[in-house]
Amino acid sequence: MSFDRELGTTVRKEHILQIVKAWEGDESYGVPLALTAVSSSTSPALSVRNRSASGVGLLVRNSSDTGDLLRVTDSGAAFSFQPGSINGSGVVTPSITLGGDSDTGFWHPGGNDNNGNISIASQGAEVERWTPTAHTVYLPTTIDDQNANADGLSIKPVNAAGASQAGPRLVLQATALSGATVNARDFILRVSTTAADGTGKLEVLTRLNGGAETVVMSLTDSGTLSDSFSTSVGKMWLCS
C-alpha cells in the first residue's frame, strides 16, 4: 500500500506507524524507497554505516528469506548469483550479464553442485570455460601486439624435483570417422631436460586414440637431431 497523505494536517500516531511499519517491512506496508532530486556533488544519495566492526552494513535477502543475495561488511561485499542455464540447443543464459545483453556474460555450468566451473557466454554461445583442472577455449585464440622477440606464449612446468624432467606438452589433434568410430591422431610437442645442467631436447611424438606414443623426431639443445627418422627417399640416421 502507498502512504496515506490525507490523514489531516495534524501529525498523529497513524502517520508515524506508517513509516515504522514500512521500515520494519510489515506486509502491505513495505513501499519502494525513491531518493530523487538529489543534487549534491559531494554527499551520497544514501549512506549506510554499521559502527560495529563485526556487524553488517547492508543485507539483502531473497524473497523466501532463506539466503543472502548481498551482504556488505567491513571485509567487503559478498554477492550470490544464480548459476545460469543452458538449453537443449546449447544456448546459454548467463547469470551475470554485461552491457545490458541478456545472452552475454558469466555463468556457472553444472548448477549448484560446487564443481568449480566458470564460463563466459557471448551471444548465447559458450566461448571459454575454467574448471579446477583445465582451461578450455572454444574459439581460435589470437595473441596480438607482441613486442619484437617477445615470448608470445610460455608453457612452463613446476620446478623440477630432480636432475631432469619432461615439461608440459602441446597437443595438436586431427580426427577421422570410420563408420561409428572416431579416430584421433595426436602430434605432440614436448621439451625435456636430460641432465642437472639443463641439457635438453625438443621432441615430436605421435599417438593414435590416446594409445602408445612414438617419437617422430628428437632435436637436442645443441641443434642436432638424434635417433632416426624416415623421409620420402628412405630412412636416415643422424648422430650427434
Q: Which of 26-40, 131-145, 202-216 has the lowest mean pLDDT?
A: 26-40
Q: Which of 24-28, 76-80, 86-90 has the lowest mean pLDDT?
A: 24-28
Q: With 90 as the cut, is the pLDDT of residue 179 above it?
A: yes
Q: With 90 as the cut, is the pLDDT of residue 20 above it?
A: no
In a 13 Å sphere around the CA of 187, the CA atoms on its Cβ side amount to 5
Alpha helices (H) along the chain: 13-24
CA distance 85 to 216: 44
Percent of the chain with pLDDT over 70: 90
Query: Amino acid identity, residue 95?
Result: S
Report whether 209 contacts 183 (CB < 8 A): yes
pLDDT tens profile 41-85? 999 999 999 999 999 999 999 989 898 999 999 999 999 888 999
Q: With 90 as the cut, is the pLDDT of residue 27 above it?
A: no
Q: Which residues, other chains included, contact 213 with Cβ-Cβ below 8 Å and sequence gap of 6+?
A: 188, 205, 206, 207
Of the two residues 233 and 77, the one the predictor is more confident about is: 77
